[in-house]
Amino acid sequence: MSPDLERIIALQKLVSAAHAAERRLAEEPEHETALEARLETARQGVAAAKERLAENQNARRAIEKDVAMHQGRLSKYREQAMAVKTNVEYHAIQKEIAHAQGEIKAHEDRMLERMLEADDLTAALKKAESDLAAEQKAVEADRKAMQAEHGVMQASIERISGERTAIVGALNKQVLLTFEQVSKKRNGIAVAEAKDGICTICHVRLRPQVFNTVRRNEEIVQCDSCNRILYFVAAVAPNASAQPAS
């Protein structure tokens, strides 16, 4: 194969690898935003569970206050009952006592409901807190993996840049110019394999004479349609690799 064609193929591999690494780096802020959103959802879950529990506690305090008030009235009525002088007064105070007792009973029933609810809400809060802890752990691990990958990507970009400088330095200037022009026009892909008489990237059939030249891998030949620099990979004979050397 012509050395320049070999360099062009290697250069394309480096350019593509660098693009892939740069794309991964560019995705990091979005990835971080998604991680932060996961944490925020879990934090909101805990905050909402705490709020519901606090509401329950407030409601219980209000019921306790009401019960205390009705109990105060009840003892007052009982004292008054000792001092009544007429039947009418007696019946009236008994009615008040019964009413206060009814209120106390009703409040105690409501209190019991609220206490049962508090058990559920406490369990829900615990669940939300353990969900948050799990999310924090998962996000932490994800961030660590992202940081490690960041290091690998940076190192690979630097390594590629060094290798690229070496190849570019050795490459024929005209060929390099062609590579760069096509690369710019074709989304960073300036090289294409020709296979079965077809450019494998734009899928246009090459003229037989062009394909024959490409097959020899001795010249820089561009696809008539997409302008990419073409190369040919010789097919390995079906049995060549299966036969043990003897």
What type of residue is 135? E
Between 30 and 196, name the residue whose CB sits nearer to Zn ion: 196
Measured distance CA(208)–CA(212) in Å, rounded:
6
Give the position of tokens 């079906």: 238
Could you tell me the smallest distance in angstroms from the CB atom of residue 164 to Zn ion? 24
Among 75, 122, 161, 225, binds Zn ion (CB under 5 A): 225
Tell me which stretch binds Zn ion (CB under 5 A): 51-59, 79-87, 89-97, 198-206.
Answer: 198-206
Evaluate the CA torsion angle 207, 213, 216, 219 in order and state its sign.
negative
Q: Strands of the chain (E only): list them.
A: 191-195, 198-199, 221-222, 229-232
Measured distance CA(73)–CA(118) in Å, rounded:
29
Site size toward Zn ion, by CB under 5 A: 5
Between 15 and 194, name the residue whose CB sits nearer to Zn ion: 194
Which structure tokens are listed for 79? 């004292």
Tell me which stretch binds Zn ion (CB under 5 A): 22-30, 133-141, 221-229, 235-243.
Answer: 221-229
Tell me which stretch binds Zn ion (CB under 5 A): 49-57, 68-76, 179-187, 220-228.
Answer: 220-228
Could you tell me the smallest distance in angstroms from the CB atom of residue 221 to Zn ion? 11
Among 223, 229, 231, 232, binds Zn ion (CB under 5 A): 223
Neighbour-count burial of 157, counting CB atoms closer than 10 A to its CB (0-12 exposed, 13-18 middle, 19+ buried)? middle
Phi, psi values for residue 74, rounded to 5°:
-60, -45
Between 153 and 194, name the residue whose CB sits nearer to Zn ion: 194
Among 226, 229, 231, 232, binds Zn ion (CB under 5 A): 226
Measured distance CA(49)–CA(122) in Å, rounded:
8
Tell me which stretch binds Zn ion (CB under 5 A): 15-23, 26-34, 116-124, 200-208.
Answer: 200-208
Q: Which are the contacts of 164, defined by CB distance < 8 A and separation ≥ 6?
A: 11, 14, 15, 18
Could you tell me the smallest distance in angstroms from the CB atom of residue 194 to Zn ion? 8
Among 202, 213, 220, 222, binds Zn ion (CB under 5 A): 202
**With binding defined as CB under 5 A, does residue 214 bind Zn ion?**
no
Footprint on this chain of Zn ion (rule: CB under 5 A): 199, 202, 223, 225-226
